[in-house]
Amino acid sequence: MPVFVRQIPEGDNRERLICPDCGHIAYENPKVVVGSVVVGGDQVLLCRRAIPPRQGFWTLPAGYLEHGETVEEGARREALEEANAEIVLDGVLALFTISRIGQVQIIFRARFAGEPACSAGPESLDVDLFGWSDIPWDRIAFPSVHWALKAWQASGSGPLGLPARNPIEDPRGIARLDRIPEERPA
Protein backbone atom coordinates (compact mmCIF):
# COMPACT_ATOMS: atom_id res chain seq x y z
CA MET A 1 0.00 0.00 0.00
CA PRO A 2 1.48 3.37 -0.94
CA VAL A 3 2.38 5.94 1.68
CA PHE A 4 0.34 9.07 1.10
CA VAL A 5 1.94 12.51 1.41
CA ARG A 6 0.33 15.80 2.37
CA GLN A 7 0.58 18.49 -0.25
CA ILE A 8 -1.55 20.99 -2.11
CA PRO A 9 -2.68 19.53 -5.46
CA GLU A 10 -2.38 21.68 -8.56
CA GLY A 11 -5.41 23.95 -8.84
CA ASP A 12 -6.39 23.45 -5.19
CA ASN A 13 -5.83 25.58 -2.09
CA ARG A 14 -5.78 22.96 0.70
CA GLU A 15 -3.36 20.27 1.71
CA ARG A 16 -4.64 16.83 0.77
CA LEU A 17 -3.39 13.26 1.15
CA ILE A 18 -1.94 12.31 -2.23
CA CYS A 19 -0.43 9.07 -3.49
CA PRO A 20 3.01 10.04 -4.83
CA ASP A 21 2.94 7.08 -7.27
CA CYS A 22 -0.38 7.61 -9.06
CA GLY A 23 -1.58 11.06 -7.90
CA HIS A 24 -4.80 9.72 -6.31
CA ILE A 25 -6.22 12.19 -3.79
CA ALA A 26 -7.67 10.69 -0.60
CA TYR A 27 -10.15 13.35 0.47
CA GLU A 28 -10.82 13.66 4.18
CA ASN A 29 -14.43 14.78 4.49
CA PRO A 30 -16.67 15.24 7.52
CA LYS A 31 -18.74 12.32 8.80
CA VAL A 32 -22.52 12.59 9.01
CA VAL A 33 -24.10 11.81 12.39
CA VAL A 34 -27.85 11.22 12.63
CA GLY A 35 -29.93 11.01 15.76
CA SER A 36 -33.13 11.95 17.49
CA VAL A 37 -34.58 13.68 20.47
CA VAL A 38 -37.18 10.98 21.17
CA VAL A 39 -40.11 12.22 23.22
CA GLY A 40 -42.66 10.26 25.23
CA GLY A 41 -45.21 12.65 26.72
CA ASP A 42 -43.12 15.36 28.38
CA GLN A 43 -40.05 13.17 28.78
CA VAL A 44 -37.03 12.62 26.57
CA LEU A 45 -35.14 9.38 25.91
CA LEU A 46 -31.46 9.34 26.84
CA CYS A 47 -28.93 6.52 26.53
CA ARG A 48 -25.95 6.01 28.85
CA ARG A 49 -22.97 5.19 26.64
CA ALA A 50 -21.36 1.75 26.95
CA ILE A 51 -18.56 2.67 24.55
CA PRO A 52 -15.91 5.38 24.26
CA PRO A 53 -15.78 8.25 23.86
CA ARG A 54 -17.48 9.50 27.01
CA GLN A 55 -18.40 6.02 28.23
CA GLY A 56 -20.89 6.20 31.10
CA PHE A 57 -22.24 9.60 30.06
CA TRP A 58 -25.76 10.26 28.74
CA THR A 59 -26.51 11.02 25.11
CA LEU A 60 -29.24 10.92 22.51
CA PRO A 61 -29.67 7.82 20.36
CA ALA A 62 -27.39 8.84 17.51
CA GLY A 63 -24.47 7.65 15.43
CA TYR A 64 -22.80 7.63 12.05
CA LEU A 65 -24.90 7.40 8.91
CA GLU A 66 -24.18 4.21 6.96
CA HIS A 67 -23.68 3.99 3.21
CA GLY A 68 -26.92 3.15 1.42
CA GLU A 69 -29.32 4.60 3.99
CA THR A 70 -31.18 7.89 4.15
CA VAL A 71 -30.71 10.22 7.12
CA GLU A 72 -34.21 9.24 8.28
CA GLU A 73 -33.41 5.52 8.05
CA GLY A 74 -30.16 6.10 9.94
CA ALA A 75 -31.88 7.98 12.77
CA ARG A 76 -34.49 5.23 13.16
CA ARG A 77 -31.76 2.54 13.07
CA GLU A 78 -29.74 4.29 15.77
CA ALA A 79 -32.78 4.50 18.10
CA LEU A 80 -33.40 0.79 17.55
CA GLU A 81 -29.72 -0.18 18.04
CA GLU A 82 -29.05 1.94 21.11
CA ALA A 83 -32.42 1.92 22.88
CA ASN A 84 -34.51 -0.85 21.26
CA ALA A 85 -36.96 1.96 20.49
CA GLU A 86 -39.18 2.09 17.43
CA ILE A 87 -39.73 5.73 16.57
CA VAL A 88 -41.59 8.04 14.21
CA LEU A 89 -39.73 11.13 13.02
CA ASP A 90 -41.53 14.48 13.18
CA GLY A 91 -38.89 16.45 11.25
CA VAL A 92 -35.44 17.95 11.49
CA LEU A 93 -34.95 19.62 14.85
CA ALA A 94 -31.33 20.70 14.49
CA LEU A 95 -28.34 20.79 12.17
CA PHE A 96 -24.97 21.16 13.88
CA THR A 97 -21.44 21.55 12.56
CA ILE A 98 -18.69 20.15 14.79
CA SER A 99 -15.64 21.23 12.82
CA ARG A 100 -13.02 20.27 15.42
CA ILE A 101 -13.84 16.58 14.85
CA GLY A 102 -15.18 16.77 11.29
CA GLN A 103 -18.86 16.03 11.90
CA VAL A 104 -22.17 17.30 10.57
CA GLN A 105 -25.02 16.28 12.87
CA ILE A 106 -28.63 16.02 11.74
CA ILE A 107 -30.91 15.68 14.75
CA PHE A 108 -34.61 14.86 14.37
CA ARG A 109 -37.46 15.39 16.78
CA ALA A 110 -39.15 12.02 17.17
CA ARG A 111 -41.73 10.14 19.21
CA PHE A 112 -42.23 6.51 20.07
CA ALA A 113 -44.12 4.52 17.42
CA GLY A 114 -46.50 3.24 20.13
CA GLU A 115 -46.46 3.35 23.89
CA PRO A 116 -43.01 4.45 25.12
CA ALA A 117 -40.88 1.31 25.24
CA CYS A 118 -37.10 1.13 25.37
CA SER A 119 -34.25 -0.92 26.77
CA ALA A 120 -30.48 -0.77 26.54
CA GLY A 121 -28.99 -1.98 23.28
CA PRO A 122 -25.38 -3.21 22.91
CA GLU A 123 -23.92 0.33 22.83
CA SER A 124 -25.84 1.51 25.92
CA LEU A 125 -25.36 0.72 29.60
CA ASP A 126 -28.82 2.03 30.38
CA VAL A 127 -31.66 4.00 28.82
CA ASP A 128 -34.26 6.11 30.55
CA LEU A 129 -36.91 8.76 30.04
CA PHE A 130 -36.25 12.11 31.74
CA GLY A 131 -38.41 15.12 32.42
CA TRP A 132 -36.67 18.45 31.72
CA SER A 133 -35.74 19.10 35.35
CA ASP A 134 -34.47 15.52 35.80
CA ILE A 135 -32.01 15.47 32.88
CA PRO A 136 -28.52 14.67 34.28
CA TRP A 137 -26.98 17.85 32.83
CA ASP A 138 -23.62 17.29 34.53
CA ARG A 139 -23.36 13.80 32.94
CA ILE A 140 -24.25 14.71 29.32
CA ALA A 141 -21.70 13.31 26.88
CA PHE A 142 -21.32 16.03 24.24
CA PRO A 143 -22.00 19.76 23.72
CA SER A 144 -24.32 19.00 20.80
CA VAL A 145 -26.56 16.94 23.11
CA HIS A 146 -26.99 20.07 25.28
CA TRP A 147 -27.78 22.07 22.13
CA ALA A 148 -30.30 19.51 20.83
CA LEU A 149 -32.08 19.24 24.17
CA LYS A 150 -32.36 23.04 24.36
CA ALA A 151 -33.72 23.08 20.77
CA TRP A 152 -36.31 20.43 21.74
CA GLN A 153 -37.42 22.43 24.76
CA ALA A 154 -37.65 25.62 22.68
CA SER A 155 -39.63 23.92 19.90
CA GLY A 156 -42.41 22.62 22.12
CA SER A 157 -44.73 20.06 20.59
CA GLY A 158 -46.01 22.21 17.75
CA PRO A 159 -44.82 22.31 14.15
CA LEU A 160 -41.08 22.57 13.67
CA GLY A 161 -39.63 25.70 12.15
CA LEU A 162 -36.14 26.05 10.76
CA PRO A 163 -33.66 23.65 12.36
CA ALA A 164 -31.64 24.89 15.31
CA ARG A 165 -28.00 25.61 14.53
CA ASN A 166 -24.79 25.90 16.52
CA PRO A 167 -25.04 28.41 19.37
CA ILE A 168 -23.74 31.88 18.58
CA GLU A 169 -20.85 31.42 21.06
CA ASP A 170 -19.62 28.29 19.22
CA PRO A 171 -20.56 28.68 15.52
CA ARG A 172 -17.93 26.20 14.29
CA GLY A 173 -18.41 23.58 17.00
CA ILE A 174 -14.92 23.82 18.40
CA ALA A 175 -15.60 24.09 22.16
CA ARG A 176 -15.15 20.95 24.21
CA LEU A 177 -17.55 20.11 27.03
CA ASP A 178 -14.98 20.99 29.65
CA ARG A 179 -14.86 24.51 28.16
CA ILE A 180 -18.60 25.18 28.32
CA PRO A 181 -19.45 27.66 31.06
CA GLU A 182 -21.26 26.22 34.04
CA GLU A 183 -24.83 26.84 33.07
CA ARG A 184 -27.97 24.93 33.79
CA PRO A 185 -30.75 25.23 31.23
CA ALA A 186 -33.84 26.90 32.64
Instruction: Render pLDDT for 140-165 as a digit per residue (tens, 0 to 9).
Output: 999 999 999 999 999 988 899 999 99
pLDDT (average), residues 25-41 = 96
DSSP characters over 20-32: TTT--EE---PEE
pLDDT the model gives residue 1:
65
Residue 182 has pLDDT above 60, yes or no: no
CATH topology of domain 31-175: Nucleoside Triphosphate Pyrophosphohydrolase (3.90.79)
- Sheet-wide strand order for 16-18: 5-7, 16-18, 25-26
**pLDDT tens-place string over residues 75-128:** 999 999 999 999 999 999 999 999 999 999 999 999 999 999 999 999 999 999
pLDDT the model gives residue 176:
81
Residue 177 has pLDDT above 90, yes or no: no
Instruction: List b or e across 78-108, with b for residues whose CB sees 16 or more CB atoms inside 10 angstroms.
Output: bbebbbbbebebbebbbebbbeeeebbbbbb
pLDDT the model gives residue 157:
86
Mean per-residue pLDDT of the chain: 94
pLDDT the model gives residue 179:
56
Cα dist. 13→5, 8, 170 in Å? 16, 6, 26
Least confident of 30-34, 42-46, 175-179: 175-179
- Say whether 129 sits in a helix, a strand or coil: strand
Give strand ranges (E) for the chain.
Answer: 5-7, 16-18, 25-26, 31-40, 43-49, 58-59, 62-64, 87-98, 103-112, 124-131
